[in-house]
Amino acid sequence: MLAIRLQRNGRAHYPVYRIIVQEAQRHPLSGRIVAEVGSYNPHTKEVVLDKETVKKYLSNGAQPSTRVIRILKAEKITLPKWVKDAPKKSAKAKHADKLRKNQPKEEAPAEAPAAEEAPAAEEAPAEAPAEQPAETPAE
């Protein structure tokens, strides 16, 4: 099966990509490509494509990568129906339960007179029933 993907070129910290057609099992840097159909410069957003060759490989079943799909759509190339769009990425926190916004909110201590607090303290022990130890069955 063929794949249409990007192959990184350029110098350190300044990538420039070739858009190539290659066997899907091979790594883009293996050097064994079927055809070079264009180039993409992410810094200037310049895209050079041989649209007829791209359409030919797409009609023959070449699967474009997700980034190439976005480039082809920007160039207004009609994609076959079987080509699926990449799912939209949503930012998720790794440990969402540890985020401050997901913690239960602390209630601010209300300013109340000391006379109201004293009866509440006296009632608490009276309401709580004393627990009795459970009886163990005799053997």
Tell me how far apart the alpha carbons of residues 35 and 91 are, in angstroms, rounded to a whole number: 36
pLDDT, position 123: 57
The token pair that represents 25 in the structure block: 């099992």
The answer to whether the Cα torsion of 43, 83, 1, 48 is positive or negative is negative
pLDDT tens column, 47-83: 999 999 999 999 999 999 999 999 999 999 999 988 8
The answer to whether the Cα torsion of 89, 46, 19, 12 is positive or negative is negative
Query: Does the pLDDT of residue 106 top 60, yes or no?
Result: yes
> Percent of the chain at pLDDT above 70?
76
Q: Which domains, from first to last, does the chain contain?
A: 2-74 (3.30.1320.10)
pLDDT, position 72: 93
Which residues, 6+ apart, have CB-to-CB distance to 31 below 8 Å?
Answer: none
Please, what is the average pLDDT of the chain? 81
The token pair that represents 72 in the structure block: 């082809």
Rounded to two decimals, what is the model's pTM? 0.61
